[in-house]
């Protein structure tokens, strides 16, 4: 099987998910600056989700670059990831409309958790297809960042139900975990 079309399809889904998130930002219903200030929670949620989707796209890009072929299991693992990525605009809008409240913040974490789990499954399917000595397996094996993220999401979901800003802080922390250290260490695939 050819990986080109899987990449193109994933790019399409991710590009549309990124772009329609903006449709969740309702156009202000008045011409004044305070309307923009009232959008601050929605804009913050949008920014965080944009970062997350961008990180997934960059990581998707990296693991597929090291893959040479695509199995049926990989196809469906990829579609599973796309399913959860497609739900990000919905939970972003909910979390932005009701900022720092328990249920939206916890549901945001549930979708993020499922994205992380399905991405981990996708990487495992790719590694299994490539073999344990492939460049992909070596690049992926050097990091436990995916497992750490999953654990942090679980903590954030529980904490959100108790005090929502803690959940938000952890989501921001996980995004930074993926954004910042990648510039230092060589492996770009974890």
Contact 99, 46 (CB under 8 A): no
Task: Please say which residue, 17 or 127, places its beta carbon nearer to a second copy.
Answer: 17
Nearest distance from residue 105's CB to a second copy, in Å?
9
CA-wise closest residue to 88 among 58, 39, 51, 121: 51
CA-wise closest residue to 60 among 29, 39, 85, 32: 85
Nearest distance from residue 100's CB to a second copy, in Å?
10
Q: What is the CA radius of gyration of the chain?
A: 17
Task: Please say which residue, 36 or 151, places its beta carbon nearer to a second copy.
Answer: 36
Nearest distance from residue 151's CB to a second copy, in Å?
23
CA-wise closest residue to 88 among 181, 190, 3, 171: 171
- Residue ranges binding a second copy (CB under 8 A): 1-2, 5-9, 11-25, 27-28, 30-33, 35-36, 47, 50, 54, 57-58, 61, 65, 72, 75-76, 79, 82-83, 86-87, 89-90, 93-94, 97-98, 101-104, 107, 182-183, 188
Task: Please say which residue, 98 or 120, places its beta carbon nearer to a second copy.
Answer: 98
Contact 4, 67 (CB under 8 A): no
Nearest distance from residue 107's CB to a second copy, in Å?
6
Helices 164-179 and 145-162: crossing angle in degrees, nearest 10, is 160
């Amino acid at each position: 099987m050819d990986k080109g079309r899987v990449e193109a399809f994933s790019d399409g889904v991710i590009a549309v998910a990124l772009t329609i998130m903006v449709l969740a930002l309702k156009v202000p219903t008045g011409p004044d600056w305070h309307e923009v200030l009232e959008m601050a929670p929605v804009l913050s949620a949008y920014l965080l989700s944009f970062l997350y989707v961008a990180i997934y796209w960059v990581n998707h890009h990296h693991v597929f670059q090291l893959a040479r072929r695509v199995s049926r299991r990989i196809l469906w693992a990829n579609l599973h990831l796309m399913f959860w990525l497609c739900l990000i605009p919905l939970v972003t809008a909910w979390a932005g409309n009701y900022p720092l409240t328990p249920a939206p913040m916890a549901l945001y974490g549930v979708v993020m958790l499922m994205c992380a789990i399905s991405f981990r499954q996708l990487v495992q399917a790719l590694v299994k297809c490539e073999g344990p000595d492939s460049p992909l397996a070596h690049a992926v094996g050097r990091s436990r960042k995916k497992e750490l993220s999953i654990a942090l999401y679980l903590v954030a979901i529980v904490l959100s139900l108790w005090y929502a800003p803690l959940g938000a802080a952890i989501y921001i922390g996980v995004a930074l975990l993926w954004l910042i250290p990648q510039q230092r260490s060589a492996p770009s695939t974890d």
